Amino acid sequence: MSAQPHDTGLLEHYVKKILAAPVYDLAVRTPLQAAPALSVLLGNKVLLKREDLQPTFSFKIRGAYNKLMQLTAEQKARGVVTASAGNHAQGVALAARELGIRARIVMPCSTPELKVLGVRSRGADAVLHGESFPFALAHALQLADTSGCTFVSPFDDPDVIAGQGTVAMEILRQQQGALDAIFVPVGGGGLIAGIAAYVKYLRPEVRIVGVESEGSSCLLAALRAGERVVLPGVDGFADGTAVAQIGAHGFEICRHWVDEVITVSNDELCSAIKLIYDDTRSITEPSGALAVAGIRKYVAERGVREQTLVAVNSGANINFDSLRHVAERVAARAAV
């Protein structure tokens, strides 16, 4: 499933949008942190892109703010509506508050309370609807249609993708030497599309590896089918990436420029959360640990050694009580 040479016009288009994205009005340049214990364990130099350190504890603030900045005065006056499992929701809520835009955000009823409170505390109207993201999305699109508000996609929008692509811009500036592969969590595909567009245009030799939860591997399914498909169901454990269909704009990039996609189990995610904590004393939510879990699997299967591998730690929005389940799964696995 290796990326093939293709016309780079689309990449150039996105690189220009990424370079022009005004995300730093709200987002911060996050550190690319060495993970010494992980590096020793895996026999490779592992670096963590700490997107959990954003103001909303997730990279999503980048794309949300870039999108809202592109709206016309009339669109801003009408307000925005979006659907999100939580991280995009908080990004839109904060961006809307800063820009004086009314925001209504539809979230699945299963959304962790921490994320719902994060939206409401930032002044947005949180509407809980449906058992999973696809139901929330359908309701949000209907609300946008009836209210005249602008729908802000959590991932399937060129301005959102460009905002997320600023993660790659920082990685390449922070790691100008050896860089073999970047591992990226995949939900709807906005983050990996933005990263792939920027990296493959400037440093095409760097591998872009998507990492999905086994229970919501919509990019892998689309790549195998040669077209976007809708998964019959999604596992909500990694709620930040529990998406049934890859975005159209993202897939346009991913089908040509993502080198491969790895899937990991929930137990592998729990183990990765512990490894990240042990190394950095930082907490990641399950979807935020996808990249590290992917690196572990990649190294085990490929036997690669002494490479420089970057994991995007995409978010830290996990209910405190959920950490008990994570710890129990790690303990149960260790006992086997």
DSSP state at residue 149: P
What b/e sequence results for 239-249 when a residue is b if at least 16 CB atoms lie within 10 Å of its CB, and e otherwise? bbbbbbbbbeb
Calpha distance 93→291 (Å, rounded): 26
Catalytic residue among 45, 49, 60, 274: 60
Calculate the alpha carbon distances from 109 to 19, 76, 86, 87, 216 in Å. 37, 27, 11, 15, 18
Calpha distance 333→252 (Å, rounded): 38
Catalytic residue among 58, 153, 287, 314: 314
DSSP state at residue 259: -
* Angle, alpha carbons 83-246-180 (nearest 5°): 115
Specify the 3-state DSSP secondary structure of 264. strand
Calpha distance 108→106 (Å, rounded): 7
Calpha distance 190→294 (Å, rounded): 18
The residues near 3 (Cβ < 8 Å, ≥ 6 apart) are 200, 208, 256, 257, 258, 259
> Quick check: is 314 catalytic?
yes
The residues near 276 (Cβ < 8 Å, ≥ 6 apart) are 35, 38, 48, 282, 283, 284, 289, 292, 313
Positions marked catalytic: 60, 314
